[in-house]
């Protein structure tokens, strides 16, 4: 039987998840523009940071749920399981999920670093091409 306490625990889990995103974003100086809720659950619209900051902020919510699951498992297995499922489900790379944003930002990060020429001897200039480094 699902009790009011279970639903309260789920609500707390969602708050912790979203608070982790907000707090981690604040560490990177990213402002929250809007907080809302839809049929899919709560969401936050925030400023975009660089790709690495976006990966870390996106991972913060699911990580908070996994930490909460581990920390509370012995006190309440159902609360721990709910947090574990919430954290792992949010890492699944679907559109508009934390996992989807993580994959997208990692791809953006990889694209941005792929165009950086490798370090070389100062006497040998390089011609940077996308993903290629030629010595001339």
d(C-alpha 95, C-alpha 43), whole Å: 13
pLDDT at 15 over 50: yes
Contacts of 86 (CB under 8 A, 6+ apart): 13, 14, 17, 62, 65
Which tens digit of pLDDT belongs to each residue from 67-116?
Answer: 999 999 999 998 999 999 999 999 999 888 899 999 999 998 888 877 65
Q: Find the mean pLDDT for residues 19-40.
A: 92
Write down the domain spans for the chain: 4-135
Contact present, 84 and 65 (Cβ < 8 Å): yes
Question: Between these two residues, 132 and 53, which has the higher pLDDT value?
Answer: 53
Question: Between these two residues, 60 and 128, which has the higher pLDDT value?
Answer: 60
d(C-alpha 130, C-alpha 31), whole Å: 33
The pTM (predicted TM-score) of the whole model is 0.77
Query: What is residue 132's predicted lDDT score, i.e. its pLDDT?
Result: 47
């Amino acid at each position: 039987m699902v009790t009011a306490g279970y639903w309260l625990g789920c609500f707390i889990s969602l708050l912790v998840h979203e608070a982790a995103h907000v707090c981690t974003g604040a560490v990177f100086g990213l402002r929250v523009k809007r907080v809302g809720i839809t049929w899919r659950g709560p969401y936050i619209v925030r400023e975009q940071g660089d790709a690495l900051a976006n990966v870390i902020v996106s991972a913060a919510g699911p990580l908070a749920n996994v930490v909460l699951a581990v920390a509370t498992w012995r006190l309440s297995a159902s609360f721990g399981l709910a947090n574990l499922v919430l954290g792992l489900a949010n890492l699944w790379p679907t559109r508009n999920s934390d996992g989807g944003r993580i994959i997208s930002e990692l791809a953006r990060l990889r694209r941005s670093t792929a165009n950086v020429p490798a370090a070389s001897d100062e006497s040998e200039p390089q011609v940077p091409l996308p993903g290629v480094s030629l010595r001339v």
